[in-house]
Structure 1
Amino acid sequence: MNAPVPTELPVVVIGAGPVGLAAAAHLLDRGIEPLVLEAGQVAGAAVREWSHVRLFSTWGEITDPAAEKLLAPTGWTKPDAADYPSGGEWADLYLQPFADVLGERVRTAARVTGVSRAGRDRVVDADREVQPFVVHFTTTDGREERVFARAVIDASGTWATPSPAGGSGLPALGERAVADRITYRVPDLKDPTVRSRYAGKRTAVIGSGASAFTALAYLADLAQAEDGAGTHAVWILRRGLSGSTFGGGEADQLPARGALGLAAKAAVDNGYADAVTGFRTEAIERDSDGRLLLVGEDGRRLDAVDEAIVLTGFRPDLAFLDELRLGLDERLQAPVELAPLIDPNQHSCGTVYPHGHRELSHPEPGVYLVGMKSYGRAPTFLAMTGYEQVRSVTAAIAGDLEAADRVELTLPETGVCGGAGLFDDPTAEQSDAGGCCAPAPAPVPLGVAEAQPAGGCCGS
C-alpha cells in the first residue's frame, strides 16, 4: 500500500519505456498525476537502440489498454494486431505518439541519481512513512534538480547494464581491455559500417537466449550473402546441447520466438556456426595479430576470433535506490515475493504465475520496481507482464485494493521446460520430458526449412 504522504504530490515514474509510459496512463486513468523521468533524449530511448531487431510478440501483445484509451482521441490507429513490429516501429508508431499525448508529464534527458525519503536516510525510522519521497536527477547540461513524490514506480529496465562475458558474473580477465572488439547488443548488420565489422570474420557469440539466437541467425544470413564469404560464428554456451537448447520450436506458444530457435539450429546444422559447450569464459586475451583468444575456467583455449558478441543477459542498476529499504532476492535481485515465480534455477518454460502489487512491494511502502527491472537478473520478461504489473500497482497506490488484487495474466509458454537447476549445468543430461511447470510437449522436428531469421526481443 502507498505511504500516507500528501496525495497532491505526483507519482514519479522512472523510465519512459513501454512499461513506464503504461504506468503513467494507468495513473491518469485513476486521477493521479504522474511525472515520468527519462534519462534518454526521447521516450523509448532504450527500445530505439535495438530498433533493427524484430519482436517475437505481435502488436496485439505489446500495447497497453490504458494507453490505447489515451491515444484514441488523437486519431491514432493501432497497427494490425497480428503483425510483428521492429523495435523502431514500436517506438515510432506507439511509444512516441503515446509520450506526445502525455506531454509535459514526460521529462526527457532527466537521469535519476537518487531516491530517498525526504529528510530520512535509510537508517532513520522516525516518521519515515509520512515523509514524501524525494527524487534527485540531473539534466544534460549538468544541473541537479529534485522533485517530491507520493510514490515511486521504477520502470527503468536493465538495458544499460548488460552482464559480462565472464562465467563468474564478473568481467573476464582482460575483457575490459579488448572492449573495442566486443559488443553487448545484437548488431545491426544492415548498417554498412557494422556489417563490415563482421563480414568475412570469425565471431564468438556468447549466450543462450533469444538474443543469441538472433545474432546467430543474422550472422548466418551474412555468411550466405555476396559480401559474407568467410563469415563464421562460434556459439559459446555454458551448458551442454540438448533438444531444449534451441527452445520449443513449433511448441512455443509465441511462434516467432520458436522460429528464433529454429534459425539458430539451422545456423549450426548448415555449418555457419560451431557450438562450444560447457565453456565458462575466464579470460580474454589478444594474440600476436590482435585477435581474441577465449580461455575457459577449465583451461580450454579456443581458436582465435575477430569479434565477440556477448549476450549473457542483463542486471538491474540499484545504485540510485540505495537509500530505500528494498526487499530483494539474494540471487536474482528481484522482489523477494516475485523471485520464486521467475527463478531460472527452477523455471525455464516461461510460466509466470499472476502477480501484482503484493509480490512487487517492498519494506519501503510506496516504492515499486516494475517491468524488466522487477525481474532482476531473470530472463523471459514480456511486455504484457509489465502492463499487468502497473495496472495492479497503480490501483494499489489509488487505494483500490480490490482491483489491485484482481490479477489475471496468462503468458505464452516457450514449449520447453528444463526442470530445476539443469539449464546452467554443462555436464547435466537435460531431459526433454517432464520439467518444473507442466508436462513437456511431444518432440518437435526442428526442420531447417522452417527456420526464419526473424529477430526477437520481449520488450521491457
Structure 2
Amino acid sequence: MNAPATTELPVIVIGAGPIGLAAAAHLVDRGIEPLVLEAGLTAGAAVREWAHVRLFSTWGELVDPTAEKLLAPTGWTRPDPATCPSGGDWAELYLQPLADVLGDRVRLGATVTGVSRAGRDRVVDAGRETQPFVVHITHADDREERILARAVIDASGTWTTPSPAGGSGLPCLGEKAAADRIAYRVPDLNDPAVRARYAGKRTAVVGSGASAFTALACLADLAVSDDGLGTKAVWILRRGISGVTFGGGEADQLPARGALGLAAKAAVDNGYADAVTGFRTEAIERDSDGCLLLAGEDGRRLGPVDEVIVLTGFRPDLSFLSEIRLGLDERLQAPVELAPLIDPNQHSCGTVPPHGHRELAHPEQGIHLVGMKSYGRAPTFLAMTGYEQVRSVTAAIAGDLESADRVELTLPDSGVCGGAGLFDTPEAEQTDGCCAPAPRLLQLAAPATVTAGGQAEEAPAGGCCGS
C-alpha cells in the first residue's frame, strides 16, 4: 500500500472525552493536525451518561491548561476553581465548548472498529515501522471509512465495558438472565422512572469504590424521603473492611472524595445499608416471587432483593486493537511499565508516581493508550493524571523529548494510610483501622440467607429460599 509520508498525516485521537479532547488541544498547540473520532453523537458522550453524578475533583483540577489556552480567545472562562461540578456540568461547560473550538477536527458518530499498520498484520516485521496506521471506522449511517494516521492516541476510556458481578471476573451464573433487575451504573434518582425502580425497595450494591459509595449515599437519601420510605441497601464487598475501606475521610486532600466515603459509612452506621464482607457472587437466582437471591462461592446466600447495582469497576476494550502489538501487564491490562506504578494493591489515587510517554510505551511505536484506558483494570485514575499523560505523549510525537520526559504532576493525597492494601483478601482485618473506624457489619455464617428484614436466618435444608 502506497501512503504519503507519515509526518503529513493527522494524529488520530479515539474518543472525544476529557482526555481525548485535551490530547487534541495539545496537538494543535504544537502545530500537529489531530482528528478526533467519537462513537457517540455528542462530545463527552460517556460523561453525559453520568451527568447526575458530582465529581470529587474541582474545576481547578478538571480543566487542562493547554485546552484552556485554546478556549481563551472565545471568551470562555473557567467556572469557580474551588467547586466540584457534576458530570453534566463538565460536559456542557467545558467539553462541549472545547469540541466546538476544535470544530471539524472532531467527528461524531464515528466508531473505530480496527487499527492496524498499512499492509501489515501483527505478524509481519518487514517495513512495519515505516508504514502509517490505518484506522477502520463505521459511521452512524453504517458507512465504512479508512483513514491513514501518523500516530494513534486511544483515549476511548472504559465506560462501555463495566465489570460483572461474578467474583471470578466473568458474569456469574444467572447474571445475564437477571439483566432486567441489574444495573451497572450509579442510578439517577432525579429521573422519576429510575427513582420509582428503587424507592421502597431492597437493593444489593456490589462494589467498594467511589461509585459504590455514591450509590449507597443516594439510596440512603432516598430512604429518608417521603417517597422512599422502606428503601434498604445490602452492601456486598468482596474483601473485608479495614481502615482504608472508606478512604481518607477528613485527611483526603480532595475534600469531596473524603466526604463521599464518610457518606457511605454513615449510610451503614445509620442502618440504611447492611455491609456483608468477603462475599464473592457465584450465582444470581430468582425466587418464586421474582425477587433475586445472590449465592456466594462460600455457600452463603443473600436476599431476597428487588434490584442489584453492580459497581465493580471497568475494563478496557482491546478488541479493535487486535492487529497492534501492545505490551500489557497480564493482570491489570495496563502498559507493562505503568502497571507497577498504579497497582491498586499498592497505590491509591494520590500515591501514583508521575509518569509519561515512556511508561505508556508499547512494542508498536506510535500507538498510545491514555486516560482511563491506560490504567486497564486499576481504579485509581484522576483526570489530571490523563492531562499530564497527553502533554507528555504529544510532546514525544512532536519530537520534543526534553519536554516529554519532564513529567510534572503532583496529585492530592487520598489520606489513605500508605495507599497499600486496597485489594485486601476477604479475610482482611475488620476492626478499626488507622484512618477510619469500621462500620456496623452484618456477619453471616454459611449457609445463611439474609432476609428482607436484614436478619440472618438458617437456610432450609435442600433449598435456597424455603417454603
What is the letter of the counterpart of residue 410 of structure 2? T
Following TM superposition, by how much is the alpha carbon of 1:256 offset from its aligned partner in structure 2, in angstroms?
0.2
Matched to 1:98, the amino acid is: L
Alignment-derived partner of residue 268 in structure 2: 268
Match of 2:130 in 1: 130
Specify the code of the residue in structure 1 equivalent to 2:387: Y
Determine if contact 2:244/2:435 at 8 Å carries over to the other structure.
no
Q: Counterpart in 1 of 2:49? A: 49
Instruction: State whether residues 243 and 437 of structure 2, in contact with CA within 8 Å, keep that contact through their aligned partners in structure 1.
Output: no
What SS class does the counterpart of residue 358 from structure 1 fall into?
A: coil
Structure 2 residue aligned with 1:319: 319
SS class of match (1:359) = coil
Which piece of structure 1 moves more, 424-433 or 350-359? 424-433
Q: What is the distance in 1 between the residues matched to 2:75 and 2:94?
A: 12
Equivalent residue pairs, number: 437
Residue 425, structure 1, aligned to residue 416, structure 2: no
Match of 2:118 in 1: 118
Q: CA–CA distance in 1 between the matches of 2:418 and 2:295?
A: 27
Q: Answer whether contact 1:418 1:431 (CA < 8 A) is retained.
A: no
Counterpart-to-counterpart distance in 1, 2:220 and 2:289? 25
Aligned match of 1:215: 215
Q: What corresponds to 2:197 in structure 1?
A: 197
Pairing of 1:151-300 with structure 2 (within 5 A) = 151-300=151-300
Q: Distance in 2 between matches of 1:179 and 1:398?
A: 47
TM-score by length of 2: 0.91
Contact (CA 8 Å) 1:244, 1:418: kept in 2 or not? no
State the secondary structure of the residue aligned to 1:285.
strand
- Cα distance in 2 for residues equivalent to 1:272 and 1:431: 21
Offset at residue 424 of structure 1 (A)? 3.4
Shift of 1:370: 0.1
Unaligned runs of 5+ in 1: 434-441, 449-460
User: Deviation string for 1:118-144 (max 9, x for gaps)?
Assistant: 000000000000000000010111111
Q: Using the TM superposition, give the Cα deviation of residue 422 of structure 1 relative to its aligned residue in structure 2, in angstroms.
A: 6.3
Seq. identity, %: 83
Secondary structure of 2:7's aligned partner: coil
Aligned equivalent of 1:453: none
The 1:95–1:420 alpha-carbon spacing in structure 2 relative to 1, beyond 3 Å, is closer
User: Partner of 1:360 in structure 2?
Assistant: 360
Higher CA-based Rg: 2
Cα deviation 1:90-128 (Å, max 9, x = unaligned): 000000000000000000000000000000000000000
Match of 1:401? 401
Counterpart in 1 of 2:38? Answer: 38
Check conservation: 2:20, 2:36, Cα contact below 8 A. Answer: yes
Partner Cα separation in structure 2 for residue 149 and residue 432 of structure 1: 54
Instruction: Give the SS at the match of 2:177.
Output: helix
Aligned to 1:23: 23
2:309 equivalent in structure 1: 309
SS at the partner of 2:71? helix
Question: What residue identity is the alignment partner of 2:120?
Answer: R
RMSD (Å) for aligned C-alpha atoms: 1.7
Whether 1:351 and 2:351 are equivalent positions in the alignment is yes
Corresponding residue for residue 69 of structure 1: 69
Question: CA 1:173–1:445 in 2, change beyond 3 Å: closer, same or farther?
Answer: closer
State the match for 1:389 in structure 2. Answer: 389
Deviation at 1:62, TM superposition (A): 0.3
Looking at both structures, which has the greater relative contact order when contacts are Cα pairs under 8 Å and sequence separation is at least 6? 1
Structure 2 Cα separation of the partners of residues 324 and 157 of structure 1:
18
Query: 1:384–1:348: structure 2 CA closer, same or farther, 3 Å change rule?
Result: closer
SS at match of 2:111: strand
- Check whether the contact 1:348–1:417 (CA below 8 A) recurs between aligned residues: no
Kept in 1, the 8 Å contact 2:115–2:323? The answer is: yes
Alpha-carbon distance in structure 2 between the residues aligned to 1:447 and 1:64? 38
Counterparts of 2:435 and 2:56 in 1: how far apart (Å)?
22
Task: Tell me how far 1:414 sits from its aligned partner.
Answer: 1.5
Q: Which amino acid aligns with 2:86?
A: S
Aligned-partner Cα distance in 1 for 2:231–2:431: 33
- Distance, in Å, in 2 between the alignment partners of 1:284 and 1:446 is 28
Do the aligned residues in 1 keep the contact of 2:216 with 2:264 (CA within 8 Å)?
yes
Q: Contact 2:244 / 2:436 at 8 angstroms: preserved in 1?
A: no
Give CA-to-partner distance per residue, 1:282-307, whole Å, 9 cap, x none: 00000011111000000111121000
Q: Output the amino acid matched with 1:201.
A: K
